[in-house]
Structure 1
Amino acid sequence: MKFFCLIGLLCLPTLAFCASDTTFINVQSDVLLQNNHILIFRDQSGQLPFEKIKTIDAFLPPAHHIPNLGVSRGVIWLKFTLYNETNNEQLLICLKKPNLNEVRLYYPIDSKGSYTYINSGDLLPPSTHKFNDPNSIFTVPIQPYSAATLYIRVKSIGQIVLPVIAGTQDNIVRDINNDRLIFGIYLGIILIMLFYNFFIYFSVRDKNYLYYIIYIFFIGFAQIGLEGYGYQYLWGSSTFIILQSVNWMGVLSGIATTVFLRVFLQTKKKTPLFDKVLIGFIILYVITGLLTLFGIYNLSYTLIDIIAFTGSFAFLGAGVKMASENYRPAKFFLVAWSFFLASIILYVVKDFGIIPYNFFTNNILLIGSSIEIALLSFALADTINVYKKEKEISQAQAIQALREKEEFASQQNVILEKKIHERTNQLQETNNDLELTLRQLKESQSQLVDAEKMASLGQLTAGIAHEINNPINFVKSNVKPLQLDIEDMRSLIKKYEEMHHDNFDDKHGEIQAFREQIDFDYVMEEINTLLSGIEDGATRTADIVKGLRTFSRLDESDLKEADIREGIDNTLMLLNHTIPKDLSIIRNYQEIPKIECYPGKLNQVFMNLLTNAIQAMGSSVGGGEKKIIISTERLNENVVIRIADTGPGIPENVRDRIFEPFFTTKDVGEGTGLGLSIVYNIIEKHHGKITVQSEENKGTEFIITLPMKQSDFLDVNTTATTSDSEEPLNR
């Protein structure tokens, strides 16, 4: 008998927890607190302290499966009890609703009823969140096989839906990672569709694609904001943007949707009355945006919901009407919009408990939005095909009309032949000039390599190819159309040559039809345009060769007056293809006079130092801003050039040896160690000085001081030796 009484006493705590709707947490999975496990109290004044809240008996179960409080001005209190059936001493509470402004969780710290709290919400910086997630996640100490009653205080603008999930850290983190995976897939779809349609827009130049790109961007941006990732990664430090963001996501996405619908369905042309309704929706969205700017958040949020709800079904009705009139774009839109509208309905009824809250229903908006965007893309492609077919029919009719026209043009034969001969000679001369330019460029490359003006042949070739590729491609692309035009002209001349007295009338009609077929005037205009384009390409190529010659200064082995800044800029031009996008080049040029120097040798110095700085920035692993700062100034009778970077710096134990020949810190085969030694010798030949200032993890600065006049140091017949070789400098 005593044994059964003891068993009964041991079971009493469990029975008590069951009677009070306690939520039991185990290691199998996390638990969504439903309306029979959670109580709610509305503090309309928002002023009641927690000590008062603990004593209130006015907590009631929520009316819906998931607590859905709508738009509330006051403070919402949640109360629930958890029983820890695991061996973990801590459980996680996740309030799976981003963009809540103020969230505070109270939990007991002893058996005397003392509580402490943890703050969360998007009014706090993202860095204060223990978990890298936009949702409010709390770590609560609850001893194994014991219970605790918890309170959550929520105050926020907009609609307040509070799905509370409790579980072990492993289960909650797994749930969070699943949500991130789904959103990552959604974001990938958005980016793919953006780039894909952006490419198509530049191919077809159809404004439907431009508005569709804008629509995709704002829909994706709205989802980023509504899922809390905007707060987490973009504007988490700005309270003003946080309070504005949710409403503006709705405003911008609503306007983008309405504008795209007007263009895609051609409502101004097809249904003028509905087009005015769409303009009215845009005006209403703008008004709600202004209300948001003035801080009237709850009213504007409610108006945005009403506009979006009304507009969704208005769009659907318009799609049904236009589809019934056999308008193809409307049929595609109707299918796509139906999927999206169905996802919205499922998402809403999930919040009201009509369908279960699970992984699928929680992400149904992202799924529906992805399907809608894909279907609309198919609709645009179908529209382009329709336009293309209509254009082909129109072109066929135009050609048929041109063939029906007759004009006499036999007197144009001599003039036409003469012009063709002149254009052919011009083309041949241009091609010869281009070939000569290319030969000169190759010779310049060879001379630069022989003079060892570059760190390596590959680097020089890449720089030249990068700069000259565009004009050469432009010339090449013009040659083929020009050949086709000349072939048409030859065909026309041949038909004129076949004319005789006995077949004059027949041949005359045939020649006139052929002239109209090839559009003689247009062909002549196109030949002039293509020749002009080829001439521009050849001129651009010559300019590039001139800049390359300026850099190399092969004809300036004697002392010359040169502009140091011009040499630096030409060096940067050749290194442009090696500069990463995240590396900034800052020029702080002061006015300095031309100096007496060996320009080619100084360009070699700049090439070595800049190449090494770019390589140093590429190997830097720090998170700071990457930049190279180039400064010039005059100091008495000298000029000073400073080349500084924000790279990893030079260790102190090797700093004193960097100018030694063959000293290098690189692996075998990656450098000879002659780079800085050559730089040092060239500066000495100029009777100048080079120094280095460097600090590890902060960067390096090379300071070059050169006299403006070399004649004070050298005899008149002194010339620069040309035996130095160029190597990239090594740190």
Structure 2
Amino acid sequence: MHSRIAALVFYFALLLKGAVGLADNAGAVVLNTARPNDLSSAMRVFEDPTGKVSIADIVASDWATKFPATGEKNLNPGYSSSKFWVYIPLTNLSDNEEWFILPDYPVISFEAYLVRPDGAYEKARVRLSGERFSTRYIQIPSGMKANLFIQAYSPINVNLQFNMFSETLMYERLNQESQFVGIVAGIFLAMIIYNFVLFLTLRDRDHLYYLLFAIVNCHLNMMSVNYPDGIMHWFGIDWIPFIDFYRPLAPLTTIMFARSFLQTKKENPRLDKALLAYNAGLVVLILAAFFVSRNILNVIDDAYFLIGIGLLAAAGILSLKRGFRPSHNYLLGLALFTLGIFIYILRSEGLIPTNAWTLNLHIALQAAEAVLISLALSAKIKQLQDSKGRAEAIANVKGRLLRVITHDISNPLSVVKASVYLLRNEDANVKRLDSIARAVGVIEEIIRFVHKTEALDNGNRVATDLVKVSEVFESLSFVFQNLAVDKQISLVFEQDHPEMLVIAEKTSLTYEVIGNFISNAIKFSSAGGTINVRANFAAEGYVQITVKDGGIGISKKSLAGVYDPLVNPSRMGTNGEIGGGFGILLAKAFIDNYGKSLKIESVSIEEKPLASGTTVSFLLNAPLTDSSRHQNLK
């Protein structure tokens, strides 16, 4: 019983001692080995604009009591040429006596001093050399209370966040961060090598500007995290004095790439002039580095860089609006770049803390941007190749247009030939002469129409008018009835109303659109077949034209490429007829111009020998006048 009471008293005494110890250490950083010790939780900061204050001055004059309370902004002074003294009270309650001091920001130089209770001070030693982070090592006996003073400065921007680690945790931290940054650097390097190979292969100006953009941005980003070791002195150059001249090259090379990639000079001359003026401003900033102090110039640079991001975004959006699909990846990459720049500026200005996330996220985002811009370049190459192929195919189509037109002319010529043949064997009569005159009139109409096809080449709308469907059908019957009879095929025309009207160009609708579909139907139908040509009211404001046959049909493979100008679907008819293979493309061009919803459904004779055939349908606009509404109701 007494032993239990004694144990309780002893346990209570330990708790009381711990509570007193915590109270004694209030406001100090209590060191432990389980996790990194964040020194910012208890630090105070003193700015030394002269850079002449020494540790001896601080200890002798007891300046520690004059250090102001520290806020987040004090921990991130940002661009500054001053040196900063940091004061942190420490208590080591752990068994570990070897401690390592690491800054959160790698591009910072510092010295650390431990001031013991008796006033003596000791300078922390350099334990690791050749590492990304400046590292200092110091011994603090277990149970000791002491004051730590750190003098810090940075040639780029100042961040005063420090941690103390045990040796094990320090190596874990260094390895983890170096692995992540190494991966990011590998992505940059892979993009540079890949696009360098493409540049050597293609000799393309876009890839040259991409290489400049990627190399400059990669170098600046890697210097901002001091990776790899020695990057500040690559090629035997001390880059730090040239940072102010070097930084504007990042947006300058980005603007050069964007102008080339998005073709702003050709597509948007006014915006292109704005981009050129912006680059001139960057040159001014480079020259200003000779006269303006770094801390002032860098703030001006950051604000000016944001204007550049706005111009780059405007160029991408306008490019996307004109149908340049690679702009998707460009804009997504720019969005990631913008986020990275904002994080960098906010951290540099001390508006957000520096940690593993904010330090490395901006370079990860810019590496992702480099990948997306490279993908945009690849997409542009593919689009250019497709455009080249289609341009060649379209040129081929235009070259064969005469063949298509002569094919259409041959249909009324067959009427002329038949009529002439009959006239040779019988007395001339008015009916035969009328047929010849009408066939010649059709030929003249088609020839006149050839001159109108220039509208399609220029991408303009074909002039349309009200067209009576009955007149179109009557002309088609005149041209194709003899061909159908020769092959013993029935050609049937039907319409919902005899006064049905559509909005179209009459000649092309008759001979290049519906005539083409009827010609194909006759060509690929066998004796005894029937071809139905029908016009019916569809949704309000539309008339549907359908040409249906029971011929040999189209295979699925051929049907999949029926609209592709790179594929020539020409094949022999059931009686050995030969076609150019481009009539459907010409018909589709006119339907796209003044109609809509061209649809081709087909079952080949190989799939269903007893149920093969093709159905072609499309919609034409119908006039919404009172009379047409009345006709619809009828």
Normalising TM by the smaller chain, what interval?
A: 0.5 to 0.7
Paired with 1:220 and 1:311, the residues of 2 have a C-alpha distance of 19
Q: Partner residue of 1:705?
A: none
Paired with 1:320 and 1:210, the residues of 2 have a C-alpha distance of 23
1:244 counterpart (241, 245, 250): 241
Aligned residues of 1:65 and 1:351 also touching (Cα < 8 A): no
Q: Partner residue of 1:328?
A: 325
Q: Partner residue of 2:257?
A: 260
Q: Structure 1 residues 225, 269: CA separation in 2 closer, same or farther (over 3 Å shift)?
A: same
Which segment is superposed worse, 245-254 or 376-385? 245-254
1:145-156 superposed matches below 5 A: 145-156=143-154
Per the TM alignment, residue 69 of structure 1 is displaced from its structure 2 partner at its CA by 0.5
1:159 counterpart (157, 160, 164): 157
RMSD between aligned residues: 3.4
Which segment is superposed worse, 4-13 or 80-89? 4-13
Paired with 2:318 and 2:90, the residues of 1 have a C-alpha distance of 54
Paired with 1:306 and 1:390, the residues of 2 have a C-alpha distance of 40
Paired with 2:43 and 2:95, the residues of 1 have a C-alpha distance of 24
Code of the aligned partner of 1:37:
A
Q: Normalising by structure 2, report the TM-score.
A: 0.55
- 1:223-253 per-position Cα deviation (integer Å, ceiling 9, x unaligned): 2222223662561897x82432433442232
Q: Structure 1 residues 80, 289: CA separation in 2 closer, same or farther (over 3 Å shift)?
A: same
Corresponding pairs, count: 393
Q: Partner residue of 1:396?
A: 393
Q: Partner residue of 2:67?
A: 59
- Is 1:92 equivalent to 2:115 in the alignment? no
Q: Partner residue of 1:31?
A: 37
Q: Structure 1 residues 65, 156: CA separation in 2 closer, same or farther (over 3 Å shift)?
A: closer
Q: Partner residue of 1:17?
A: 25
Percent of paired sites with the same residue: 23
Aligned residues of 1:247 and 1:292 also touching (Cα < 8 A): yes
Per the TM alignment, residue 148 of structure 1 is displaced from its structure 2 partner at its CA by 2.3
Q: Structure 1 residues 330, 10: CA separation in 2 closer, same or farther (over 3 Å shift)?
A: closer
Aligned residues of 1:134 and 1:228 also touching (Cα < 8 A): yes
2:51 counterpart (46, 49, 52): 46
1:611-690 superposed matches below 5 A: none
Aligned residues of 2:111 and 2:150 also touching (Cα < 8 A): yes
Paired with 2:234 and 2:374, the residues of 1 have a C-alpha distance of 33
Partner SS, residue 107 of structure 1: strand
Paired with 1:229 and 1:361, the residues of 2 have a C-alpha distance of 16
Q: Structure 1 residues 230, 371: CA separation in 2 closer, same or farther (over 3 Å shift)?
A: closer
- 1:599-654 per-position Cα deviation (integer Å, ceiling 9, x unaligned): xxxxxxxxxxxxxxxxxxxxxxxxxxxxxxxxxxxxxxxxxxxxxxxxxxxxxxxx
Per the TM alignment, residue 326 of structure 1 is displaced from its structure 2 partner at its CA by 4.0
1:366 counterpart (339, 363, 367): 363
Aligned residues of 1:92 and 1:138 also touching (Cα < 8 A): yes
Per the TM alignment, residue 164 of structure 1 is displaced from its structure 2 partner at its CA by 0.9
Aligned residues of 2:78 and 2:349 also touching (Cα < 8 A): no
Code of the aligned partner of 1:226:
S
Per the TM alignment, residue 372 of structure 1 is displaced from its structure 2 partner at its CA by 1.0
Q: Partner residue of 2:197?
A: 199
Aligned residues of 1:23 and 1:83 also touching (Cα < 8 A): yes
- 1:685-709 per-position Cα deviation (integer Å, ceiling 9, x unaligned): xxxxxxxxxxxxxxxxxxxxxxxxx
Q: Structure 1 residues 310, 159: CA separation in 2 closer, same or farther (over 3 Å shift)?
A: farther
- 1:389-440 per-position Cα deviation (integer Å, ceiling 9, x unaligned): 221122224445667899xxxxxxxxxxxxxxxxxxxxxxxxxxxxxxxxxx
Paired with 2:79 and 2:151, the residues of 1 have a C-alpha distance of 15
- Is 1:300 equivalent to 2:305 in the alignment? no
Partner SS, residue 47 of structure 1: coil
Per the TM alignment, residue 138 of structure 1 is displaced from its structure 2 partner at its CA by 0.6
Code of the aligned partner of 1:214:
L
Q: Partner residue of 1:283?
A: 280
Aligned residues of 1:225 and 1:249 also touching (Cα < 8 A): no
Aligned residues of 1:226 and 1:249 also touching (Cα < 8 A): no
Aligned residues of 1:194 and 1:217 also touching (Cα < 8 A): yes
Q: Structure 1 residues 5, 98: CA separation in 2 closer, same or farther (over 3 Å shift)?
A: closer
- Is 1:130 equivalent to 2:128 in the alignment? yes
Q: Structure 1 residues 205, 89: CA separation in 2 closer, same or farther (over 3 Å shift)?
A: same
1:68-467 superposed matches below 5 A: 68-100=76-108, 102-108=109-115, 110-118=116-124, 130-229=128-227, 232-233=230-231, 235=233, 241-292=238-289, 296-347=293-344, 358-399=355-396
Paired with 1:72 and 1:263, the residues of 2 have a C-alpha distance of 37
- 1:667-697 per-position Cα deviation (integer Å, ceiling 9, x unaligned): xxxxxxxxxxxxxxxxxxxxxxxxxxxxxxx
Paired with 1:352 and 1:216, the residues of 2 have a C-alpha distance of 25
Q: Structure 1 residues 297, 361: CA separation in 2 closer, same or farther (over 3 Å shift)?
A: closer
- 1:147-173 per-position Cα deviation (integer Å, ceiling 9, x unaligned): 321111123344212221211121122
Aligned residues of 2:206 and 2:257 also touching (Cα < 8 A): yes
- Structure number with greater CO (CA < 8 Å, separation at least 6) is 2
Paired with 1:9 and 1:378, the residues of 2 have a C-alpha distance of 64
Aligned residues of 2:76 and 2:347 also touching (Cα < 8 A): no
Paired with 2:366 and 2:377, the residues of 1 have a C-alpha distance of 17
Partner SS, residue 152 of structure 1: strand
Q: Which runs of 5+ in 2 are unaligned?
A: 1-5, 404-579, 581-634
Per the TM alignment, residue 260 of structure 1 is displaced from its structure 2 partner at its CA by 1.0
Code of the aligned partner of 1:86:
S
Paired with 1:25 and 1:95, the residues of 2 have a C-alpha distance of 16
Per the TM alignment, residue 281 of structure 1 is displaced from its structure 2 partner at its CA by 3.0
Which segment is superposed worse, 350-359 or 71-80? 350-359
Per the TM alignment, residue 294 of structure 1 is displaced from its structure 2 partner at its CA by 6.4
Paired with 2:147 and 2:183, the residues of 1 have a C-alpha distance of 38
- 1:236-294 per-position Cα deviation (integer Å, ceiling 9, x unaligned): 897x8243243344223222212111111222222323322322332233333334456
Aligned residues of 1:33 and 1:165 also touching (Cα < 8 A): yes
1:457-496 superposed matches below 5 A: none
Per the TM alignment, residue 45 of structure 1 is displaced from its structure 2 partner at its CA by 3.5
- 1:48-99 per-position Cα deviation (integer Å, ceiling 9, x unaligned): 3334434233323333278110222332111112333432211111113233
Paired with 1:137 and 1:308, the residues of 2 have a C-alpha distance of 33
1:533-682 superposed matches below 5 A: none
Larger Rg: 2
Per the TM alignment, residue 134 of structure 1 is displaced from its structure 2 partner at its CA by 2.6
Which segment is superposed worse, 89-98 or 229-238? 229-238
Paired with 2:379 and 2:13, the residues of 1 have a C-alpha distance of 79
Which segment is superposed worse, 376-385 or 4-13? 4-13
Q: Normalising by structure 1, report the TM-score.
A: 0.49
Paired with 1:303 and 1:226, the residues of 2 have a C-alpha distance of 18
Q: Structure 1 residues 131, 169: CA separation in 2 closer, same or farther (over 3 Å shift)?
A: farther
Aligned residues of 2:152 and 2:160 also touching (Cα < 8 A): no
Aligned residues of 1:190 and 1:220 also touching (Cα < 8 A): yes
Aligned residues of 1:225 and 1:231 also touching (Cα < 8 A): no
Paired with 1:355 and 1:75, the residues of 2 have a C-alpha distance of 21
Code of the aligned partner of 1:148:
A
Partner SS, residue 342 of structure 1: helix
Paired with 1:307 and 1:116, the residues of 2 have a C-alpha distance of 45
